Amino acid sequence: MIRTDKSKCLRCAGCVGVCPKSALTLTEHGIVCNENCNDCGICINFCPVGAIKPKER
């Protein structure tokens, strides 16, 4: 699972497009990650503004 730093996230939703598990959604409250996440880290590597970090389970 991931968490986003709201002070950095610009809500571009590029991470949604690279997520192979379709686990991410852009909502009114920013990026939301669901249980399909397998911690592959692709969104973290992609994020243009460095807003995504792994969430400790």
Partner 1 sequence: MDIPKEVDVLVVGMGPGGSGAAKKAAELGLSVLGVEKRAEIGAPKRCGEAVSRHGMIERIGIEPKGPWLIQEVHGAVVYSPDGRHVRIDYDGPEGWIVERKLFDKHLAALAARTGARIMAKTEAKNFRRVEGGIKATLESEGITHDVKARIVIAADGVESKVARELGVNTTARLIDICAGAQFEMANVKPNENMIEFFFGNGIAPGGYCWIFPKGEGMVNVGIGVRRPWAKKPAIEYLKEFVRSRPELRDGSILEVNSGGVPVGGFLKDNVDDNLMIVGDAAHQVNPIHGGGIPEAYMAGRIAAEVAAEAVKANDFSKKFLKRYDEIWMKQRGNRLKKILKLREVMESMSDDDLNWLINYLQGQDLVDISRSSGFTRFAKILMKRPKLIKLARKLI
For partner 1, the binding residues (CB under 8 A) are 10-20, 22, 25-26, 42, 45-50
Taking the complex as a whole, the smallest distance from the CB of residue 25 to partner 1 amounts, in Å, to: 7
Taking the complex as a whole, the smallest distance from the CB of residue 14 to partner 1 amounts, in Å, to: 2
Determine contact, residues 51/4, Cβ cutoff 8 Å: yes
Q: Which is nearer to partner 1, 36 or 55 (CB)?
A: 36
Residues whose CB is less than 8 angstroms from the CB of residue 21 and which lie 6 or more positions away in sequence, other chains included: 36, 37, 38, 40
Taking the complex as a whole, the smallest distance from the CB of residue 48 to partner 1 amounts, in Å, to: 4
